[in-house]
Amino acid sequence: MSHPNEHLSDSDAPAHPAGSPPESSSSTDDHTSDSKVAETSGSSVATAQNADAVVEEKLEALEQLLHEIRNDLPTVRELHTRLTEANRIIEGVSVLPLFRDLILMRDRFEKVNAEDAVAVAQSTVEELDEIMARQGVDRMPFTPRPFDPALQESIGRRKSDAPSGTVIELVRDGFLFEKRVVRAQQVVVAE
């Protein structure tokens, strides 16, 4: 006796043999896969759209910032010009009087004769001290005291009755500008 499905071709055969439960078909799997792909691609599309929106928002913010910078550029240029002019004025106010004083001193030296040289040299040192004091530069006072490397430079050591490390001789004056060292005192220190 022949089986009822024997004469059917593969395409005509039922999805499952008679009496057996249906097996999962590839079309069902394909449908499930398609829906998962659709969900995933839908999610990817939404994510891409969100990313595009964020990028577009950032671009708009940058364009706005660029616009503001362009609007502020003339103001910045004007401020730069004003600051440059102010610096020139400040330099002129502080430096020109110094130059005038130095030119006057030069004039005095030009007319010095040999007989007056010592007196002119002494008065020149005093005048220079006054000029520097007007500019905020002061000569450091000298008193024998312990050596201070922040204010002094030791150029030698010598035996002395003074305690070791005491400054015993000033070789060259030191100067301060508003309490900052312009030149350290050059001193000799007791051994």
**CA distance linking residue 63 with residue 66, whole number of Å:** 5
Q: What is the pLDDT of residue 50?
A: 85
- Round to whole Å and give the CA distance between 140 and 73: 49
Q: Mind listing the pLDDT tens digit for each residue in 141-154? A: 998 899 999 999 99
Same domain, 109 and 140: no
**pLDDT the model gives residue 9:** 47
Q: For residue 92, what pLDDT is reported?
A: 64
* Same domain membership, residue 153 and residue 112: no
Instruction: Check whether residue 150 and residue 162 sit in a common domain.
Output: yes
Range of the domain at 151: 136-191
Same domain assignment for residues 101 and 147: no
| pTM of the entire predicted model | 0.47
Counting Cα atoms < 13 Å in the Cβ hemisphere of 17 gives: 3
- 131 in the same domain as 86: yes
Q: At what angle do helices 117-134 and 26-110 cross, to 10 degrees?
A: 150
109 and 185 share a domain?
no
3 within some domain: no
Flag whether 14 is in a domain. no
Asked whether residue 4 is assigned to any structural domain, the reply reads: no
| Each residue's pLDDT tens digit, 40-80 | 566 677 787 888 888 889 989 999 988 888 888 888 888 88
* Domains contained in the chain, number: 2
Q: Mark whether 80 and 150 lie in a shared domain.
A: no
Domain annotation covers residue 21:
no
HSE-CB at 118 with a 13 A cutoff on CA atoms is 1
Quick one: CA torsion of 50, 51, 53, 55, rounded to 10 degrees?
170
Alpha carbon distances (Å) from 169 to 126, 156, 188? 21, 10, 5
